[in-house]
Amino acid sequence: MRTARLRSILLSFIGVSVLLFQPSSLPAALITDVRFWSAPDHTRIVLDLTESVQYESSTIKEPPECHVELKGANLFTTKRELQVNDPYVSRISLIQLAEDKVRLILRQRKPLSVDIFPLKPYLDKPHRLVIHLVDLTQEKKDQEERQRQKEKSPHGTKIVVIDPGHGGEDPGAIGPNKTMEKDVVLKVGEKLIQRLSQNKDIQAFLTRKGDYFIPLEQRIKIAREYGADLFISLHADGSFNPHARGSSVYCLSLSGATDEAARLLADKENLSNILGGASLRPASLAKDPNLSQILLDLMQNKSLKESFRMAEYLLRDIKEVNQLKYPCYRQANFIVLRGPYFPSLLIELAFITNKEDERLLNRSRFQEKMAQAIATSIKTYFKQ
C-alpha cells in the first residue's frame, strides 16, 4: 500500500516537472518580407514567413480595408508601411500588436473580394501567406471584353493568343546576370503582338500585359474567351549545364514525353502553379463524363495534328535567328498546352542560363528578330 502511494506521488511529481519544463509555446513565425503585384483585375500581397501561422481576417466597409491578424508571428522586416501605386490598394501596414501577434492592414481604394491562403515551402520559396484582392466587377468586364473581341472579329479573321510565361511571384528561370525569364518573354510577346497586328487578317492578344501571375489553366481560359485559333506560350529555357543553349519548340503529349529532357522541362514549367500559388479547379466539358471524354479526344486529336504542322514552320523560321537545341519539335505533358479547342505550342526562345543566350535575350534586336520569325511562321500557317 505504502509502495503504491509512493509510486503515485512520484508519477505526479514527474508529470508536474514535464509540464514545467516544456516550452510554453511553439516558436513564433518571423515575417521576413512583404511583396505585392498588380494585375488588371486584382492585387496580390504575399508575406514571407519562417513558419506557418494561424490567421483571421475581417473587412471594414468605410473606408474599405482588409485586416489580417497573424497569431504566433513577429515582425522581422523593415517594410512596415508601404505606399502602393496600385489601382486597388493604397497602403500596406504591418503592426506588432503584442508579442507573437501581428496585424496586416490593407487600405483599399474600393471594396474588393478577399481570398487568403497559405503556401508551404517549395524549392527556394519559404512559408508564404497570400492575400488575393479581386475586383469582381473588373474581372467580369475583362471576360466580357474578350467575348466582344471574339464576336466583333470580321469573318475570316484569325485570332492568335500569345502567352508570356510565368510572372509575378513566379520569375521562371534566372540567368547568370539575374535576367528573369518572366521579363524577357513579356518583351518578346509585346513585339510579336505589334508584328501580328500589322496584318489585317490576324488579331493578336496577350494573356498577361504586366508582371503578375496567372494560373496555367486560366491562360487557356483566356485564350478560349478570345476565341483563339492558335495559342503560343513563350518561355526561356534553363539548365544546370551552363553550356546548354539554343531554341526549341514543344507540343502537347497525351501519353509519355518524347524523351527525358522534354519530360523534365514539362515538369519544370508545370511548377509555375505551385510557385505562383494557384488552386486547380478543372472544369468539365459536359455533365456526362463519357461524352466529355469523347469530345475532348476528338478536339485534341485535331488540335495536336495542327500543332505539329505549326511546329514545323516555327523550327524552319526560328533557326534563321538562333541555333536550335533540337532539329525537331518535342512533346511532353505541359499543362498550359492542354486546351483542346485550338492548336497550342510552347517555344523556348533560348537558354537564359547560358551567358551568350542571356545576352541575346536582353538585346532588343534579338527580341525583334525572334518576334518577326514567329510572326512569319504564324502567317504561313494560316495561309497554308
pLDDT one-digit tens code per residue, 235-263:
999 999 999 999 999 999 877 788 888 88
With CA atoms as reference, report the closest residue to 89 among 31, 32, 39.
Answer: 39
Residue in 301, 189, 289 with CA at minimum distance from that of residue 235: 189
Could you tell me the three cell numbers for 182? 518572366
Q: According to the model, what pLDDT value does residue 278 have?
A: 66
> Which three three-digit cell numbers place residue 156?
475570316
Q: In which band, very low, low, confident or very high, does the pLDDT at 289 lie, cut at 50, 70 and 90?
A: low
CATH number of the domain located at residue range(s) 29-134 in this protein: 2.60.40.3500
pLDDT in tens, 166-191: 999 999 999 999 999 999 999 999 99
Of the chain, the percentage scoring pLDDT greater than 90 comes to 71
Each residue of 56-80: pLDDT tens digit? Answer: 999 999 999 999 999 999 999 999 9
Spatial separation of the C-alpha atoms in residues 115 and 131, rounded to whole Å: 6
Q: How far is 106 from 286, CA to CA, in rounded Å?
A: 40
Domain ranges of the chain: 29-134, 139-278+287-383
Q: Do domains 29-134 and 139-278+287-383 have the same CATH topology?
A: no
DSSP state of 324: B
Using DSSP's 3-state secondary structure scheme, residue 7 falls into helix
The grid coordinates of residue 115 equal 481570398
CATH class of 139-278+287-383: alpha beta
Nearest to 206 by CA among 365, 321, 371, 322: 371
Q: Which amino acid is at 324?
A: L
Element housing 135 (H / E):
none
Q: What average pLDDT does the segment 41-69 reach?
A: 95
Classify residue 351 as exposed, middle or buried by CB count within 10 Å of its CB (0-12, 13-18, 19+): buried
Q: What is the pTM of this model?
A: 0.85
